[in-house]
Structure 1
Amino acid sequence: MGLERRSKVEVRIPTASMADIAFLLLIFFMVSTTFVRYRGLPVELPRARKIKRIETRRNLVYIWITKDGKICVNDILTELNSLEEMMSRRMRENPRTIVSLRADEEVPYGKVSEVLQVLRRAGALRVNFATRRKQG
């Protein structure tokens, strides 16, 4: 009596699609990972929910800060120490004055912060940060 021999079936794991799976996992983790660029103080930036038009031009004071750090108020070049007196006088004349602050994008925020502190001491609490519209 002869025993029938069964042929052994080779058990193999198909590795042809292994590279595809590895690349898909790599892409998934690259897309879902958040990259931290800047480490510093945790700051929550303001968001504009709605745009409001400024009432009138006579209530408006433009302050420009150039990338060199020069301050210009309504086309008059001024220093930081004389800005407080100028704005205090303007606020006494018209307490509804709105300041439109236009700082160059390369100005360090420390300079903008100094101007904001001077405006606060002068009583100019209504400050508008002017920006450019995004093209496209």
Structure 2
Amino acid sequence: MNIKGPSRDDVSIDMGPMIDLVFLLLIFFMVASVVTELEKVEVEIPESSHAKVPEDTKGRMMLSIDANNQVYVGTLAVTTEELKDYIATELDLNPDLRILIRADRRVEYKTCKDIMIACGEVGATDLIYATFEE
């Protein structure tokens, strides 16, 4: 019996599905990067010659203070009392809660001081401010 298979010259890989997959991945990452940028309140971060970039900013609760001295937890506007309640709840879930404060360069010092006092009153002591290095 003489069985002959297809010749090897006719075998090729169809690149069409692979190119489609690459384009889908490209579109996914473009959309995902835009979505993560929309989750922040727009603030103009100040610059400092003594700024030090923290080694680890992941896992920090983000507080933002805009130029009108409005405080946000993520993108939710809160009062000082609501902020205390929110931080106390988060501290119950995570006793090692760390907080990143993004304050606009035009924010009054009194507002920053009130936020630090509110955090301290409920037991959150690991606070850092976001700044850019000059």
TM-score (norm 2): 0.58
What is the aligned-residue identity percentage?
Answer: 17
Task: State the one-letter code of the partner of 2:123.
Answer: G
CA distance 1:85–1:68, change in 2 (3 Å): same
Select the structure that is richer in helix.
2
- SS of the equivalent of 2:91 reads helix
CA distance 1:112–1:49, change in 2 (3 Å): closer
Q: Distance in 1 between matches of 2:100 and 2:106?
A: 18
Q: What RMSD in Å do the two structures reach over aligned CA positions?
A: 2.0
Q: Unpaired runs of 5+ in structure 1?
A: 1-46
1:71 aligns with 2:43: no
Q: Distance in 1 between matches of 2:129 and 2:51?
A: 14
Task: State the one-letter code of the partner of 2:128.
Answer: N
Question: Who is 1:115 aligned against?
Answer: 115
Shift of 1:55: 6.3
Task: State the one-letter code of the partner of 1:66.
Answer: D
The count of corresponding residues between Structure 1 and Structure 2 is: 86
Shift of 1:48: 5.7
Q: What does residue range 76-95 of structure 1 map to in structure 2 within 5 Å?
A: 76-95=76-95
Question: Who is 1:131 aligned against?
Answer: 131
Q: Unpaired runs of 5+ in structure 2?
A: 1-48
- SS of the equivalent of 1:87 reads helix
Larger Rg: 1
Relative contact order, higher structure (CA 8 A, sep 6+): 2
Question: Who is 2:56 aligned against?
Answer: 54
Task: State the one-letter code of the partner of 1:64.
Answer: S
Shift of 1:123: 0.8
Shift of 1:52: 3.8
CA distance 1:129–1:55, change in 2 (3 Å): closer
Q: Which runs of 4+ in 1 moved over 6 A?
A: none
